[in-house]
Structure 1
Amino acid sequence: MPSCPPRRPVMSSTTAAAFRLGQRVHAAGDPRRLGTVRYLGPVEGHGGVWVGVDWDDGAGGRHDGSLAGRRYFVAVGECSATFARPTALSGGISLPDALRLRYRVQDFTKEEQDEMYVFSTSQKRVSVEFVGTDKVQEKLNNFNELASASVSYMGVSSIGAPNELNSLVPNLKLLDLTGNLFSQWQTLDGKFVQGFNTLRLLNLEDNHIDSWDEIVKLSYLRSLEQLHLNKNRLKHVKYPSNLSPDGPIDDAAAVPFENLQVLLLGSNDIDDFSSVDSLNLFPSLRDVRLSDNPVADPAKGGAPRFVLVARLGKVGILNGSEISPRERRESEIRYVRLVMGKIESNDQEEIRRLHPRFAELKSFHGIEDEKPTSSISGPQKMASGLISITLKCVGPSMGEKQPLTKKLPATTTVGKLKSLCESFFKLKDIKVKLFVEEEGCPLPQPVEEDTASLMELGIGSGATIVVDEES
């Protein structure tokens, strides 16, 4: 028989018709084992209908979507897929049902009823009090006081019936939906947001969300201040230009995400600068996380921190680290120099498209274009392009060396600077590696393009270069 997850007691009426391709599911009885439906139908040599599932953890499967030489679907990993009977899977439960399961007082002791706790996203314990009566209606009335709730990894897949959520928890301010089944929200419309405008923090981490269009639906939550989207599969971010006329709020003056101050996007698949630039359009955004995205990983062709700081004009906290006034100024100046060193065209429209803040920052910091130097010679020509940088030796084989401050032409390449360092510090048979220290970064950032000049890398006067050795 095809490999499948361990069976658990479930309702026998579950059939393949209950599932659809692309649907998020979990193993019946185990809401923490999450996967995506990739196949529905027969499996050669085995009777009945089967569901092909690609499991998130990449382990615990038996194959890659093929069986006995026949391919049914393509799984992410070589052993991340299984075929399961429909009764071995669950499509999830509604959010109101999950809240009742987690917080309704049932057969608890008096001490347990007196005080229960949920955990906020900052791991602070938030008290939820119940009066401890046996009447169901009185138990449900206690939900009126519920301000913080966590239903993480409970297999939540839908919002529930219209107005049910608002009736159940009308004063909810913090909702943690980490690790549930909200990759697509066919039911996320007026049901969720109409009349439910007390919510200030929504945590949707680890839900396999791959479409920003799904997130835009949340723009109708007018009170939302924090949105946690770490560990999803988002590739792009785009600020909605206006609220959809099909949305629950008929207000031409409504501003999407008007009160959103914190947006956590770490560990996604964002790889374009237009997504970074679009964050400037969120009217109240001050705290952004982009770490562990390709766009923020220099090793994958992404940008170092100073570029992100310069492109994000209003953000005060980036990747959990506060941006000081000094860091912002130095980052913006370095970014302008970087762009000036790399632009090959004088097409202002193209420059504006690729670097929306370039002209503004260039003017704000009073940075002038490089003047032609063909008629200038001698010391005057040399002085016009000199920058002052500090060099610090840290290599274990280099011995104790005092830092040096040198004036060098801005056109000095990284390769040339390495050679100069070998000469300055009398380094023999040591292959040099350079790093630049940046405020706000816990570790110096590598400088690896030997053919790039200091000007092209945005390195200007006052910079500190760390001289290390190749490991």
Structure 2
Amino acid sequence: MDSLPLVGDRISLSGYLATVKYVGNVENTTGIWIGVEWDSPERGKHDGVKDGKRYFSCRFPRAGSFIRPSPQVLRGVSFLQALKSKYVEEFYGTFSQEKVILGSSNGAIEVEAVNLDKIRGKFANLARLREVSLENELVATVDEPGSIRETCPNVRGLDLSRSLLPSWTAIAEIAAELPALQRLALNWNRFPEGPLGVSKMSSAFLNLTDLQLNGTFISWQALHQVTSFMPNLLSVELGHNGLCFLEPGNPNIGADSLISSINLEGNQCREWTRICQSMNLYKNLERLILTSNEIDRIPPPTHNDSPSLNALKHLSLNLNNLNSWNDLDALSLWCPSLISLTLSGNPLVESGNEVRYTRPFIIVRIPTLSILDSTAVSTKERIDSELLYLSYISQRFSNDESGSGLAQLTREHPRWEELSKKHGTTLSTSGNTGSHQDRLSRKLFEVLVWRVAVSTPAATTEWINPTTIRALPSMSLKVFRLKIRKTLSIDKESDFSLWLKMHDDSWTELQQVDSHDLDWLGLEAGSQLACCIKAR
């Protein structure tokens, strides 16, 4: 190492990235030490305190370390050095491969790209580059003014994830020389909190539409400051940032925001009302990803809760802690324009007495839905779901004609009266319950399903303990397969095929055409199916 790094510099050691927080002596030792905060929260041993004395502070209690200056401590390269090293280099050979980590997957999705040397050959003329990925290339500094614009002026997408760039000012200096830049990925970087250089930021991101800040631990308020310099921004990713509470933003900053998509996957947000208050800043918000957070309740909005998500059309609530049907009744009030919803992984849809009714009950409680868990909701399925729902209510409340019973009915099933008028049904007090339930009993049918660990039914002679599954004729094959996977406890990694037993005792495989419903496929009451688990 020719010179010591400065506080605030970014370094890499043995593949691990860190920010320099201290340079100097440490009591009871000799020589110079470098105090660093590792990007990985569990990489270090302390939070900047050594033998009771604090030398620096860390965001996490075990992210700090002291290291010695050495040639192994890398300070990084300039943007153009990294660009030319990656895109203008000697061919690696016909069968060269590299591993590429996708987007906001937190390292979970990794693919191998084959023959990247041939692709690089086509981009040796850097001026033709449209998409540039310099992830993990240790970009640390900006080149001479004008040199980046002269070298690659047509870049529209840039990935600077896991870099050594020390500040938003450095990012702005690079972006300012890329006038066509629309997509910018800065995942897993670390930027200091504090005032931003207005002179640098104000003209750097004028055409930016997509911004990725996954794993950066940026605060919600800091995000507002940064995006205020991005007037055409449409999409923001903020996954795995440790966000717990989203403070309501400054309305003067986001009043004219065009942002229509926000991804908050993998955070720790819990309070739904507070989330809505924060999102109310974005009047054009149509897509919100809240997968893998800690939301456990959606209370109904009150007269003080003006921030309904009126424009929201697409919402992901997978892998949260919702466990009450009232949450979905409230959700439809918060999001009156909701078109698509995903809810898998919540206790409400994974367990409980009503788990077999989850899809139709969700469809009924949110009347605007046309897509649930990535599967279309047809008009026929909605009608069948509403009739099933009314039948369920009739069975629960037909014997309770008291005022308190009807009050409970209205409280637990706010759409009951509306749906009763729509379908011309009432409770048992009218004397029509029996005929109504007969209509539903004709809709629902039962099939027998055998689970066998073979590729085809012809490969087994053991038919033991079939499972009875109830379904609606309008249920799509995709939803039916999900129901079978859950009922038979088939893990997500295992694939299976479904075979229908014909009247001549032969078997025919049901082709996986998601748009076909069970009625179209010929399933009826008493149908026998073999679920053949394919060996991994």
Give the TM-score normalised by the residue count of structure 1.
Answer: 0.58
1:142 aligns with 2:204: yes
| TM-superposition CA deviations, 1:27-82 (whole Å, max 9, x none) | 93326x589xxx99999xx746899x999xxxxxxxxxxxxxxxxxxxxxxxxxxx
Kindly, what percent of the aligned residue pairs are identical? 18
- SS at the partner of 2:382? helix
Task: Name the residue aligned to 1:22.
Answer: none
Query: d(CA) in 1 for partners of 2:327 and 2:419?
Result: 19
Give SS of 1:141's match. Answer: coil
**Matched residues in 2 for 1:433 and 1:195: separation?**
56
What CA distance in whole angstroms lies between the structure 1 residues aligned with 2:381 and 2:42?
A: 42
Aligned match of 2:481: 443
Structure 1 equivalent of residue 266 of structure 2: 206
Structure 1 residue 365 corresponds to structure 2 residue 423: yes
Following superposition of structure 1 onto structure 2, how do residues 68-83 of structure 1 map, counting pairs within 5 Å?
Answer: none
Structure 2 residue matching 1:233: 3-state secondary structure: coil
Question: Which of 386, 400, 412 is the aligned partner of 1:345?
Answer: 400
SS in 1 for 2:328: helix
SS of match in other structure, 1:283: coil
Alignment of 1:71-470 (within 5 A): 84=62, 106-107=142-143, 110-117=150-157, 131-132=177-178, 141-160=203-222, 164-165=225-226, 167-186=228-247, 188-190=248-250, 194-217=254-277, 218-242=279-303, 256-281=308-333, 282-298=335-351, 302=355, 303-343=357-397, 345-346=400-401, 347-370=405-428, 387=442, 392-395=447-450, 430-438=464-472, 439-440=475-476, 441-443=479-481, 445=483, 464=525, 467=528
Picking from 21, 30, 35, the partner of 1:11 is: 21
- Greater RCO structure (CA 8 Å; 6+ sep): 1
| Cα distance in structure 2, aligned partners of 1:348 and 1:298 | 27
Does the 8 Å contact 1:114/1:129 carry over to 2? Answer: no
* CA displacement 1:253-297 (0-9 Å, x = unmatched): x66222111121111111111111112212222221211111122
When residues 285 and 329 of structure 1 are mapped into structure 2, their CA distance, relative to the original with a 3 A threshold, is same
**What is the rounded CA distance, in whole Å, between the counterparts of 1:296 and 1:445 in structure 2?**
11
Distance 2:220 2:440 in 1: 62
Q: By how many angstroms is 1:129 displaced?
A: 8.1
Higher mean Cα deviation, 264-273 or 209-218? 209-218
Residue type at the aligned position of 2:62: A
Q: 1:424 — aligned with what?
A: none
| Unpaired runs of at least 5, structure 2 | 1-15, 24-35, 67-133, 160-173, 180-197, 453-461, 488-522
Alpha-carbon separation, structure 2, partners of 1:192 and 1:264? 28
- Supply the distance in 2 between the matched residues of 1:143 and 1:221 (Cα, whole angstroms): 19
Is the Cα contact below 8 Å between 1:226 and 1:261 reproduced in 2?
yes
CA distance in 2, matches of 1:47, 1:359: 68
**Deviation digits for residues 416-456 of structure 1 (CA, Å, limit 9, x no counterpart):** xxxxxxxxxxxx994332012341414274799xxxxxxxx
Q: Which amino acid aligns with 1:232?
A: N
Q: Hey, what does 2:72 align to over in structure 1?
A: none
Q: Is the 8 A contact 2:212 2:237 kept in 1?
A: yes
Distance 2:42 2:287 in 1: 25
Residue 29 of structure 1 corresponds to 38
Residues 314, 181 of structure 1: CA spacing in aligned structure 2 closer, same or farther, 3 A cutoff?
A: same
Distance 1:271 1:42 in 2: 43
**Unaligned residue ranges in structure 1 (runs of 5+):** 1-5, 14-26, 56-82, 89-100, 120-127, 245-253, 398-427, 449-461
Distance (whole Å) between structure 2 residues aligned to residue 285 and residue 357 of structure 1: 17
Shift of 1:390: 5.2
Compared with structure 1, are the counterparts of its residues 464 and 437 closer, same or farther at alpha carbon in structure 2 (3 Å cutoff)? farther
Give the number of aligned pairs: 339
2:213 aligned partner, one-letter code: V
Residues 300 and 34 of structure 1: CA distance in aligned 2, closer, same or farther (over 3 Å): farther
Rounded to whole Å, the distance in 2 between the matches of 1:327 and 1:11 is 60
Take 1:150 and 1:386, find their aligned partners in 2: how far apart are those partners?
Answer: 51
Q: Structure 2 CA distance, aligned partners of 1:138 and 1:312? A: 46
Change in 2 beyond 3 A, CA 1:191/1:222: closer
- Shift of the alpha carbon at 1:233? 0.7
Which amino acid letter does the alignment assign opposite residue 84 of structure 1? R
Q: Which segment drifts farther, 195-204 or 224-233?
A: 195-204
Q: Decide whether the 8 Å contact of 1:205 with 1:228 is kept in 2.
A: yes
Amino acid at match of 1:175: V
